[in-house]
Structure 1
């Protein structure tokens, strides 16, 4: 689905491990960045420490052959490697499940076999009709972009349209409700043909988080509406107000003591 250009120019640009969003050439915030910077996550703080420790143990021999500075650099980057691998795994599981349901022959890596089987079960048992997959979108008033995982309808639930986040991580957290609410407030998304499509055309009725595990799947309904929206806006405001450069600008230049040359 695509439509003529109706809005300011919006783009998602991929670079390295990440991506950025632009409105008329100006970089804007991403949903996950705002949530990451604006809300303290005690569980994530503990996870970061555990990931670095696990990485050090698992790569002990390899790290021991490096100079100390390179070891430190590898350890600093390890949590991002693990995070990016988790994101890649989620997308790969979804893509493989889609191909299998289309009757295509695919080679599924052994480490993903259980997750792919669970994803296929979900899509089959829910009789999923995909509307948009990994679609970038933008909110113009609040100037943020993002990419949601899945917008779908289900023959098991006539008349309902689901905005979904697809997770293969350890658990589903309440913050996902803020993430989905932010996505649901997009003015438009980039459709399959690259055109700008108003998100309101799809009539979203439900937000869900789909937890894909190696042996099963669980679908969690997530709260939505104005209360959740206000919490996202508050989190976004906190993220923007407390950025390092802005905070550091609150400090003035060093003062001199009377009688001492400046």
Structure 2
């Protein structure tokens, strides 16, 4: 529900780059099938997003297995670096996995979503992680991101999870959502990993609820505000000039 005008320019840039980088191929395609060439170019952003989503799904699957203590051997070449960095994260932070890939469900506000993990980490008085677990324990909502950057919208997503009413397990049973001491996002790319704290306080959650209301407008309420026609023209006016032109 947040406006993202930059996506228009991003998609246009990908299309332009594809056209320039594959100009002879596109020209040959256009000579045989103009519409096919158009479809090939305009699908550039969709294909890129699909590939990135597949990489993200593979990485998330491996991350969950590693967090659960499962031995992960051979993985797809596209996520080998991601898996190596996640192992480094586990060694550096030494979190305790409390829940993973369960559904956060809000009865009050009517939304649901699958969160990546609930972790327990330990920090010292300076809020620095103590991997030997000698510091103060903190229960946090955690999210894994494999995108190019971490965007502020992750706070809205995690605030929604943390403020849901209950957790729904794969077998359908529910448990109350616990109280969290905070939240953090793990950003893993091919080059590095970083672990960031994320605000999920009442102010952030209120912004999420505002967008939830906008969702209701976009999907339902906007269809109810324009009523049936009270009156309308009965026939289109034909002028004398139009009649003579016939």
Q: TM (normalized to structure 1)?
A: 0.70
**CA separation of 1:259/1:208 partners in 2, compared to 1, >3 Å: closer, same or farther?**
closer
CA-CA distance at 1:177 after TM superposition: 0.6
Q: Distance in 1 between matches of 2:236 and 2:38?
A: 46
Contact 1:93 1:119 in 2 (8 A): no
Cα contact 1:98–1:120 (8 A) shared by 2 = no
Are 1:159 and 2:141 matched, yes or no? no
Query: What is the 5 A alignment of 1:93-132?
Result: 93-97=59-63, 99=65, 102=69, 104=71, 106-132=73-99
User: What CA deviation, in whole Å up to 9, does each residue of 1:224-246 have, x standing for no partner?
Assistant: 21111111111222233234993
Query: Any gaps of 5 or more consecutive residues in structure 1?
Result: 1-37
Task: Tell me the CA shift for residue 212 of structure 1.
Answer: 0.5
Aligned to 1:89: 55
**Which protein shows a greater Rg?**
2
Question: Deviations along 1:51-74, whole A, 9 cap, x unmatched?
Answer: 444555677648927744444445
CA displacement at 1:80 relative to structure 2: 3.8
RMSD (CA atoms): 3.4
User: In proportion to residue count, which structure has more strand?
Assistant: 1
Q: Which runs of 5+ in 2 are unaligned?
A: 123-129, 239-246
Q: How high is the TM-score relative to the length of structure 2?
A: 0.74
Retained in 2: the 8 A contact 1:100–1:120? yes
Report SS of the residue matched to 2:118. strand
Does the C-alpha gap of structure 1 residues 173 and 100 become closer, same or farther in structure 2, counting only changes over 3 Å? closer
Which residue is 2:152 aligned to? 174
Change (3 A) 1:220 1:259: closer
